[in-house]
Structure 1
Amino acid sequence: MRLDKYLKTARILKRREAAKELALAGRIWVNDRIAKPSTEIKIGDQIRLRFGSRILEIKVIDIQKQVSKQNAALLFEVIKEEKIEEEND
């Protein structure tokens, strides 16, 4: 499954377009490599997202085309979540 579609299906991001924009800005890594929106996601992959003042690192547990809101959190496991300080010049 494509990275942008997975992030929307797992409800990590609300819109697929938001996932695309983050990836094109170089703010999403899959297995420690900068990812494109079309990067294929497999079970076991680690995804790191930087959005706002947050970094979220997850591990892909399952991939499904459709999932209910209640079961969306079962598609991934949060490895690390942290707030980062904004850099001031």
Structure 2
Amino acid sequence: MRIDKFLKNSRLIKRRTVAKEACEQGRIKINDKVAKPGTEVVEGDIVTMEFGTKTIKVEVLDLKEHVTKHAAKEMYKTIE
């Protein structure tokens, strides 16, 4: 699954266009490598998001195409 789609489906970022822009600005990393919007993410990857002074680090647990609001939190585990 593309990283921009994962961020939207997991509701870490509300809109896919915002996720795409964050990737293009170098704010999203997968396993400590800067991710482009089309970079594939797999289960077990560590995704780091940097917004201003705030850094969020999560581990990908599941990839789902269609997900409900309550099931979205099961797609990742917060590390930091």
TM-score bucket (shorter structure)? over 0.9
Residue aligned with 2:42, SS: coil
Matched, 1:43 2:12: no
Q: Distance in 1 between matches of 2:53 and 2:41?
A: 25
Shift of residue 9, structure 1, vs aligned partner: 0.1
The whole-number CA distance in structure 1 between the counterparts of 2:27 and 2:6 is: 16
In structure 1, list runs of 5 or more residues that go unmatched. Answer: 81-89
Unaligned runs of 5+ in 2: none
**Aligned positions of 1:4-83 closer than 5 A:** 4-80=4-80
Q: TM-score, normalised by structure 2?
A: 0.97
AA aligned to 1:72 is A
Q: Distance in 2 between matches of 1:51 and 1:6?
A: 17
Separation (CA, whole Å) in 2 of partners of 1:66 and 1:53: 31
Query: Which structure would you say has the larger Rg?
Result: 1
- Runs of 4+ in structure 1 off by over 6 angstroms are none
Q: How many residues align?
A: 80
- Superposed CA RMSD: 0.6
Counterpart CA distance in 2 for 1:32 and 1:53 is 17
Deviations 1:29-51 (A, max 9, x none): 00110000000010000000001
